Structure 1
Amino acid sequence: MRFGLAILPEHPWSAAEAMWREADAMGFDHAWTFDHITWAGLPESPWFGAVPTLAAAAAVTSRIRLGTFVSSPNNHHPVQFLREVLALDDISAGRFILGIGTGGDLDAQITGEELTLRDRVARFHEFAHLLDRLLTEERVSSEGRFYAARDVVTRPGPVRAPEGPGAAPPNRVPLVIAANGPKSIRLAVEKGEGWMTYGGKAETDEQWWGLVTTLSHAVDQALDAAGRERHTLARYLNIDAGPTFALHSVAAFEEAVGRAAELGFTDLITHWPRVEEPFRGQREVLDAVVADVLPRWR
């Protein structure tokens, strides 16, 4: 099992830098930040851009992998985004993970868009397919419903191909595709080195784990239908998306890890504890999890 820590981009860099350094020193396998214009969970909070945040984080860390949690068509055009992805991969010396998804409702609304959810999903699929081409081909032209790419020269390409389970093929930054619906799950199986989920909205922990279980089985079925071996797709779970924050206590965190492991998840992501909701928790719990729980589950 691998473990990730999400750090919300709500802090000025003078405060955030120490958090990213600590995530690296603690031994987390990957660290993430939210890529939104405005996150619905903290709509009045100060908020900073994901790309410059990760570039700064790459400069002050040496080992930990860094990812977007998640990037979407709401605030990125795939051709423009390619350059930022390549820069992040270069600055991090190949440690960047590209998490992508359809995107939140609030981001879609505040820019004046009036796309239906069906159209937003269709746009995301076009976004993902075009990004995949831009990250693997030397020159790309494409005319789609939502995006055009006209003779785009994609050099310099990624720094290096990552190694290990869920690794990208040569010349591709790894794609981790957030998906809950059947079409997007098939997309993750077709194009992703990893699949990511938050499970869904639920009133109780048991209801939430039921949703996670259903989605995990759906991914198994999609992999089998595509003829892809199950172990070749990394599976990322946001274990804080249910009613109980995983770092509420050491026991809560360990229970979540055990249940996720039974469902075949390879990577779990928790959040740096905050002093108030969301993700309200104690730093002491994070430290105890790092010292005791993570080593036993690796």
Structure 2
Amino acid sequence: MRYGICILPEHPWREAEPLWRAAEQRGFDHAWTYDHLVWAGLPDSPWHSTVATLTAAAMVTETIQLGTYVASPNFRHPVTFTRDVVTLDDISHGRVLLGLGAGGDRDAQIQGLELSRGQRTRRFAEFVDLLDRTLSTDHIDHDGEFFTAVDARNLPGCVQRPRVPFVIAANGPKAIALAARQGEGWLTTGAPRASGERSSDRVEGWWQGIAEVCDRFSEAVADAVEQGDRDAEDVPDRYLSLDASGTTALSSAGFFADQVGRARELGFTDVVTHWPRPSDPYRADPAVLDRIALEP
């Protein structure tokens, strides 16, 4: 098992820097931050640039992988984003993990964009495909439904070859199939949880949904292998967002250990939790970090 922690980009760097250093010192394998213009979960919170934050984090760490949680086409264009990713991979000496997802609607709405669910699904697939090409190949032309590229350059290319790893966030069938075909990793938050339930019931229901989505992903990977879209030995890593049940995984050391154990039983290779915050979401006592064990 590998462990990740997500640090929201809400802090001025003088406060955020010690958190990124501590994430590496505490033995986390990867650290992430959200990639939004505004996050609907904290719409009135201060919010900083994702790429700038990860660049600064790369300068104060040495080994921990650094990731977007997750970048989306709601305000990213593959051609311009390629420049950011290539540069970040260079500055971090090849430590970038590129979390990608369809995202929510808020960032697009800020720019006056309104898309149907079908359009968002098609746009995400086109975004992933074009980003794959622009990060791994020089001189790219593309004329698609949502994006255009004319002789796009990627020099010098990523430090990681042929490109940085894609960790594709997916819960629905089409996104799961995309992750199975093109992801080095798959990230899930599970099915939407019902409201009005007791916390323990909600968590149990969430785990049932996680088991079901795991089965769907296994089937999608098998289909991708059968169709020749990936090699049978090239199995994507599986990332679970541990806080998506509605109960913060770091609410106690015992609860964290239990959630990690359940993720391991379902075949997850990686889990991600959030740095404790003093208020919701992800409310927890930072002292819990001193009591958890990051066991392989």
TM tier, smaller:
over 0.9
Structure 1 residue 277 corresponds to structure 2 residue 280: yes
Structure 1 residue 186 corresponds to structure 2 residue 177: yes
Measured after TM superposition, the shift of residue 153 of structure 1 is 1.7
Measured after TM superposition, the shift of residue 230 of structure 1 is 7.2
Preserved contact between residue 86 and residue 158 of structure 1 (Cα < 8 Å): yes
CA distance in 2, matches of 1:45, 1:86: 29
Amino acid at match of 2:151: D
Amino acid at match of 2:186: W
| 1:218-233 alignment, distance < 5 Å | 218-227=216-225, 228-229=231-232, 232-233=235-236
Measured after TM superposition, the shift of residue 275 of structure 1 is 0.6
**CA distances 1:200-219 after superposition (whole Å, capped 9, x unpaired):** 32131111111111111101
Structure-2 residue corresponding to 1:175: 166
| TM superposition outliers: structure 1 runs of 4+ over 3 Å | 228-231
Deviates more, 1:7-16 or 1:116-125: 116-125
**CA distances 1:173-219 after superposition (whole Å, capped 9, x unpaired):** 10110011111111111111000011132131111111111111101
Match of 2:188 among 183, 197, 201: 197
- 1:98 partner SS: strand
TM-score, normalised via structure 2 length: 0.94
| 1:89-238 alignment, distance < 5 Å | 89-159=89-159, 161=160, 170-203=161-194, 204-227=202-225, 228-229=231-232, 232-238=235-241
CA distance in 2, matches of 1:111, 1:121: 18
CA distance in 1, matches of 2:3, 2:234: 17
TM-aligned CA distance change 1:146 to 1:77, over 3 Å: same
Deviates more, 1:263-272 or 1:99-108: 99-108
CA distance in 1, matches of 2:235, 2:264: 16
Match of 1:288 among 283, 288, 291: 291
CA distance in 1, matches of 2:214, 2:170: 11
CA distance in 2, matches of 1:153, 1:225: 33
Deviates more, 1:58-67 or 1:278-287: 278-287
TM-score, normalised via structure 1 length: 0.93
Deviates more, 1:107-116 or 1:146-155: 107-116
Measured after TM superposition, the shift of residue 22 of structure 1 is 0.6
Measured after TM superposition, the shift of residue 231 of structure 1 is 6.6
Structure 1 spans left out of the alignment, 5+ residues = 162-169
**CA distances 1:67-124 after superposition (whole Å, capped 9, x unpaired):** 0000001111110000000011011000001111001122222221111121111111
- 2:149 partner SS: strand
Deviates more, 1:104-113 or 1:263-272: 104-113
Work out the number of aligned pairs and report it: 284
- 1:278 partner SS: coil
CA distance in 2, matches of 1:17, 1:100: 24
